Chain A
Amino acid sequence: QLLESGGGLVQPGGSLRLSCTASGLTFYYYGLSWIRQAPGKGLEWVAVVSGDSDDTYYADSVKGRVTISRDNSKNTVFLQMSSVRVEDTAVYYCAKIRRMMLLSGAAFDLWGQGTVVTVGS
């Protein structure tokens, strides 16, 4: 399973680090993504990191403001968010890519329950 944490209320321009800890899978083999959902809206892919951390990709809406990383020794993936905006308010899901060792053709077969990030004063 995947378990997210780190969400909360943050002021515009502030920073936040989200964490997602995995259990029950061979963590190193799989790419992991963060996907968010603003209140009442659809799904928006945010970022992905490969199993060995060599490859990362970001959505244009967050590029330069967020960094995805992972610690395979702790089975944890992170999303460091900075210069947050009101429009970053969302439930943030961590999700595992179905295919081992590949970032291409990514379908997500395991999701966490989500952590809520609210940007406001």
Chain B
Amino acid sequence: DIQMTQSPSTLSAYVGDSVTISCRASQTITTWLAWYQQKPGEAPKLLIYRASSLESGVPSRFSGSGSGTEFTLTITSLQPDDFATYYCQQSKSYPLTFGGGTKVEIK
């Protein structure tokens, strides 16, 4: 199985900051990576697919990059609505696996 490791597990930032979340795969997944945002009590929401493709309706301040085993999610000009937990997920092979999550908190 492919293991997904996210860092950091928690991130504190101010509104307006730019933040980066990392995700590492235990083996190459080319660009088969997705990013999700989850708020408390809600279902996850797809932000990015194929490592860097922005899902329809998602603000352009969200961007994804990377290939192989190293990936990043960047949020530029953090907004109050962006404080949430973010997960990466590999879709290279089954069983699908998620990273452990990164909680973005208000500083």
Chain A interface (Cβ within 8 Å of chain B)?
A: 33, 42-45, 48, 57-60, 93, 98, 103-109, 111-114
Q: Determine whether the beta carbon of A48 is less than 8 Å from that of B94.
A: yes
In chain B, positions 63-100 with a C-beta closer than 8 Å to chain A are: 87, 89, 91-92, 94-100
Q: Determine whether the beta carbon of A60 is less than 8 Å from that of B1.
A: yes
B14 close to A (CB within 8 Å): no
Q: Determine whether the beta carbon of B95 is less than 8 Å from that of A93.
A: no
* Chain B residues with CB below 8 A from A93, complex form: 43-44
Q: Determine whether the beta carbon of B46 is less than 8 Å from that of A109.
A: yes
* Chain B residues with CB below 8 A from A58, complex form: 95
CB of A34, distance to nearest CB on chain B (Å):
11
B62 close to A (CB within 8 Å): no
* Chain A residues with CB below 8 A from B1, complex form: 60
Q: Determine whether the beta carbon of A104 is less than 8 Å from that of B43.
A: no
Q: Determine whether the beta carbon of B49 is less than 8 Å from that of A57.
A: no
Known: A42-B100, A108-B36. 11 other contacts (CB 8 A): A42-B87, A42-B101, A43-B101, A45-B95, A48-B96, A104-B91, A107-B34, A107-B49, A107-B50, A107-B91, A111-B45
Interface of B is mostly: loop
Bound Cα distance from A30 to B87, whole angstroms: 23
Bound Cα distance from A105 to B89, whole angstroms: 10
CB of B83, distance to nearest CB on chain A (Å):
17
Q: Determine whether the beta carbon of A108 is less than 8 Å from that of B34.
A: yes
* Chain A residues with CB below 8 A from B99, complex form: 42
Q: Determine whether the beta carbon of A107 is less than 8 Å from that of B89.
A: yes
* Chain A residues with CB below 8 A from B36, complex form: 43, 108
* Chain A residues with CB below 8 A from B44, complex form: 43, 93, 108, 111
Q: Determine whether the beta carbon of A43 is less than 8 Å from that of B98.
A: yes
